[in-house]
Chain A
Amino acid sequence: MIDERVVPPKRPQEIPLETHGKQKFFVRFTLAQRYLHVALFTSFLGLAATGLPIRFSDNAWARLFAKAVGGFGAILFFHKFCAIILTLSFLYHLKDLATRVFVHKEKGIFWGPNSMVANWKDVQDLVGHLRWFVGLGPKPKFDRFAYWEKFDYWAVFWGMIVIGFSGYAMWFAPFFARFLPGWALNAVLVVHGEEALLAILFIFSIHFVNTHLRPESFPMDMVIFTGKETEEEFKKKRTLEYGRLVAQGKLETRVGEQPAYWWVNFAKVIGFTAILIGLTLLVLTLIGYFGSS
């Protein structure tokens, strides 16, 4: 730990591997959750890349892109293909939740520190965090899931329902027309496009910065890929959860193996590729949005 006094470990990824070895690693995400995240972001990138040219079809880049991949037919095919992957991922998550609630009788899924459901503390944290931003108060201490993480979760949850429903309503319009009013067939395109724009803009800017690019995690928070974080990170980022586990004497139950060197590097390649594609799409979206109007 001598090194730490010389250079504070602001960037855990940059700590030499030997130092990593001396640290304890704690599990934050299960393997299934990590795979789910990969499935989500690959299909989302695919959906964004094939949806944006349709949304901004009057833009030159959209036509160039469409031409490059084989025209609209190809774009729509990939869009639907990615939509199915994302739908399956979403259904898998619902199935996972159901299993945890009904089969494993797991408690605390709907309420409490391990739940994604927002509570009063999240509101306090948000206010406290904002106050800290402008120097009006101390930095709040966060539990397992901070308010912005919950927001990310619910934004994606809501987004998938809204975009998914409106998308399938267009895909199978005559079927949906049986129980939707006429105007809804017009509305689904607006809803689909606007909600997708929100998702794209939010994830490729806010989520990227909040989770990966902010100074504490820069350039990428590897915990979503490795599933584990160092004790240092755990203590600092999720202070309350750490403290509670220590107090309950349950800290050891969360200890995990140190992620393999190759796996971290492999994950970095995947992760940075995703961020790069995302940022490119963000630029194209902004060009499309402000260029066409």
Chain B
Amino acid sequence: MTGPFFEPVGTCCVMKVDLLRAITSSVGSKFKILAQALATLLLFYPFMLHAETDCLSCHSDKTLQDAAGQSAGLDIDKFHASIHGSVSCTDCHTSIKEYPHAEQRTTVKCDTCHADQASAIGGSVHAKANAHPCTSCHGDTHSIFPRSDARSAVYPLNIPRTCGTCHASETLAKKYGLQNVYATYMDSIHGYAVSKEGLLVAANCMSCHGSHNILSHKDGKSTTSRGNIPETCGTCHAGVKDEYSAGVHGKMVASGNTKAPVCSDCHTAHAILQPTEATFRMQTTPICGSCHKDQLATYRDTFHSQLGLLGGYVETARCWDCHGAHGILPASDPASPVNKANLIKTCGRCHADANASFVQYQPHANPHNRKMNPALYYTRLFMNILLWGTLSFFTLHTLLWFIRAKKEQRKSRLAAEEKHD
């Protein structure tokens, strides 16, 4: 397509530069710069428009295609509304120098302007992604909107869907050894807040993982590395973070112990549930028990655990109901809910009539430990002897009786038959 309707760009330009010089030379040096700027604007503004008009003479045809069948048309209204609406075509399509131009594919380099973001991506997990580093998230280049605009692909409420384009894919997850987390996130308390409530402040993918500089959680610098998780979650959950930092686990993490539990160990990373939900209450005790093995084993022997395991009744005491959840303190600490002085209050949260004698109950008593729990040890021993003694004796007694009675029965039947014969 050719368009011989406008004079060649070059001629016009030279004329205007000459005119500019003439104007500015007549003004005093004091106002020279100001005059120059003003004149440039006045003279070249129509030219800028002119240039775009040149491009649009062909490219405003939305059905325009190149030889390879790729669309080369542009929705100019949408483009003008977009964040790049004031940028001229050749600013990005730098390889296009003349008008009209030969049919060619141009490579657009976003990093000309967005150098910081480009270098961040270069160091991120997405550096080697096959998809275009910018457009695969920000969408069509000619209709990119600011993050605060609901039309933007990176608008908080749109982010899960945008990331989900790749990360909801089973094949992609398999290929990169990732968990397919999209569905679990969408079902989580955060996903619900975003997708159902439309909460802009609710955590979306970006809130935890960052955007351009996303690193693997194995990387110590990543916002989702174990050591950084409390900080990352604390961005929103500041109160909980303070509590956590003051507790034993928070202190361990701060001192570089990565084995200590961080937020995601109990709450999980993506499938985060409302902590009062039955499923959450059912799943968390074994997580504490993965380190506190003895405590879990002794807890399992108690009524609290027996009820808890059966489900349908989730109010029974789990670890954190007594020990606290975030700011767990050693029992020796007067502020700990399991400190002796606080037991009546702590137990009283469920057992309304808890008294000093009642709280002597040991929620982690071990009937197998004679030194720690002698009374319980001997109670259990006595009960076991009674149980197995009685059963052994009577099993033998009844078995012998049964055999003997069977014999008697056969004998008398034979005798009866003989008599009959």
Contact = CB atoms under 8 A, between A and B. Distances in A.
Interface of A: 5-8, 10, 53-55, 57-58, 62-63, 66-67, 70-76, 129-130, 132-135, 148, 155, 170, 173-175, 177-178, 180-187, 189-191, 194-195, 197-198, 201-202, 205-206, 209-210, 214-216
A209 B310 contact: no
A206 B358 contact: no
B401 A214 contact: yes
B349 interface: no
B355 A177 contact: yes
Contacts of B401: 129, 133, 210, 214
A197 B380 CA distance: 13
A201 B310 contact: no
A216 B406 CA distance: 9
B367 A190 contact: yes
A130 B393 CA distance: 11
A9 to B, nearest CB: 10
B128 to A, nearest CB: 46
A206 B312 contact: no
B358 A173 contact: yes
Interface in B378-406: 379-380, 383-384, 386-387, 390-391, 394-395, 397-398, 400-406
Contact of B402 (A10, A191, A214): A214
A186 to B, nearest CB: 4
Interface of B: 300, 302-303, 305-313, 316, 351-355, 357-362, 365, 367, 373, 375-376, 379-380, 383-384, 386-387, 390-391, 394-395, 397-398, 400-406, 408-409, 412-413, 416, 419-420
Nearest to A133: B400
A104 B352 CA distance: 46
Max chain B C-beta neighbours (<10 A), residue from A6, A177, A202? A177
A186 B361 contact: yes
A66 B311 contact: yes
A175 B353 contact: yes
A47 to B, nearest CB: 15
Contacts of A170: 303
A187 B375 contact: yes
Given A63-B311, A198-B390, A202-B391, 18 more contacts: A6-B416, A63-B310, A66-B311, A72-B307, A73-B312, A74-B312, A132-B404, A134-B400, A173-B351, A174-B352, A177-B361, A178-B357, A181-B357, A181-B375, A190-B383, A191-B383, A198-B387, A215-B405
Interface SS majority for chain B: helix
A202 B394 CA distance: 8
B185 to A, nearest CB: 28
B346 to A, nearest CB: 14
11 contacts: A5-B420, A8-B412, A53-B310, A63-B309, A72-B311, A75-B310, A173-B351, A178-B355, A185-B361, A198-B391, A202-B390
B394 A182 contact: no
A214 B405 contact: yes
B342 to A, nearest CB: 16
Contacts of B413: 8, 10
Contacts of B351: 173-174
B256 to A, nearest CB: 36
8 smallest beta-carbon distances between A and B, as pairs? A71-B312, A182-B360, A174-B353, A72-B313, A194-B383, A177-B358, A133-B400, A57-B309
